[in-house]
Amino acid sequence: MAKIGILTGGGDCPGLNPVIRAVVRKSYIEGFEVIGIKNGWKGLIENDTLKLDLESVSGILPKGGTMLGTSRTNPYKKPQDLQKTKENFKKLGLDALIVVGGEDTLGVASKLIKDGITNIVGVPKTIDNDLSATDYTFGFDTALNTATECIDKLHTTAESHHRIMVVEVMGRHAGWIATEAGIAGGADVILIPEIPIDIDEVCGLIQKRHQRDKTFSIIVVAEGAKFKEGMITQEEKLDEFGHVRLGGIGETMAKEIEKRTGYETRVSVLGHIQRGGTPSAFDRVLGTRFGVKAVELVKNKKFGRMVALSGNKIIDVAIQDAISTLKTVDPELYEISKVFFG
Ligand code: F6P
C-alpha cells in the first residue's frame, strides 16, 4: 500500500481542512495510507506525525485553520534540520509528500526536489492570492468576504460620525484583498503595495469628495503598501524565510490625512481576523478539488507538479512556475477600482 504524507506550512488560511479531508477520502478510495505531518516542515524535522483515516477527518470540512497545525519553519535554515528532514522522509517510508503552502513552503518543496526528494506534489494556498500559475488560491475568497463585511460595518459608523476611516488589510507584496474588498465595499481610495502612495493625491481625492457634500470616506490600504521611502514595519526581526512583520501603514496614513485635511480620521487594522473563521463555499469547493487532484497526481506519479485553477478547470503546473514570480494585482482591475475613487 502506497504511503502519502501531507503537511500544511506557512500562514494558515480557511480551506486547508477541506484539502486534508479530500486527500484522505480520495486516498481511501485509491487504497493509499495517509500520514499527517504536524506543523509544516517542523513536523518532518521532528518526525511528529499522526495517522489520518476517515474518522480523523470527519467533521473538519467547515472548520478554519488546519487540523495538522502549521509553522514558518524553514528546514534550509540549519544543515542539521535539512539532514533530519531527509532522514525522516525515508524513515516514515513515504512514497509521496503532498505539500500545501504558499511561496515559502512550496519554495522548500522545490529545493528538496532538486536535492533528491523528488516525490512531491504541491497544493497552493494563501489568503494573499499572490501565487503565480493559478487563477486563485483557496483562503482568498474567505478573507475577501471577511474584509468586505468589515468595510460594510465601518461604512455605517464612518457615515454617522462624518469621519475618514482607514482600513488596513493583509497583503504583503500584492494588493489583491485591498483591491477586491475595496471594490466590493465601495472604497473611496485603495492603496496597494504595487503602487507607491502619493499622500497629496490621496488627500486631494478625499477633499474633492467632501466638496461634493460627502462627509465621510473609506480608505483601504494593504499592509505592504509603501510611501516612496519604503515599507512600514512593526519590528525589524526577520522570520525564517527572511520576512519582516508588517503593520502600521494604516496608523501612519490616518495621522497624515488628519493633519493635512483637518478631517477626523480613525484606523481599523483587520489583521488575522482575515485568516480565521469558517471557509466560504468557494474555498471549500476549491480546496476539495485541489485535494482530490493532488492524490490523482500522486497516483499517476506526476511529481514536481502543483495543482492549480485555470478558468474553471483544475490543472497541474510545475511547482517552480508558481513560485518564480509573484502574481501582483492585475492593472486593469486596479483601473476599474479607480473609477470610484474620490
Ligand atoms: O498569509 C500571508 C499573510 O497573511 C501576509 O499577508 C501577512 O503579512 C502574514 O501572513 C502575517 O503572518 P503571521 O503574522 O502569521 O506571521
Domain architecture of the chain: domains with CATH: 3-138+279-323 (3.40.50.450), 140-275 (3.40.50.460)
pLDDT class of 281 with cuts at 50, 70, 90: very high
Using the mean position of ligand 1's atoms as its centre, give its distance from the Cα of residue 261 in Å.
Answer: 32
In ligand 1, the atom with minimum distance to the C-alpha of 171 is: 6
Residue 128 near ligand 1, beta carbon < 6 Å: yes
98-112 per-position pLDDT tens digit: 999 999 999 999 999
Strands (E), 102-197: 120-124, 164-169, 189-191
Tell me what pLDDT residue 198 has.
92
317-328 per-position pLDDT tens digit: 999 999 999 999
Residue 125 near ligand 1, beta carbon < 6 Å: no
Atom 15 of ligand 1, nearest CA residue: 11
Gap between the Cα atoms of 81 and 251, Å rounded:
39
Residue 11 near ligand 1, beta carbon < 6 Å: yes
By three-state DSSP, how is residue 8 classified? Answer: strand
Strands (E), 226-312: 233-238, 244-246, 265-269, 305-310
Using the mean position of ligand 1's atoms as its centre, give its distance from the Cα of residue 247 in Å.
Answer: 10
Using the mean position of ligand 1's atoms as its centre, give its distance from the Cα of residue 311 in Å.
Answer: 27
Tell me what pLDDT residue 131 has.
96
The grid coordinates of residue 315 equal 490543472
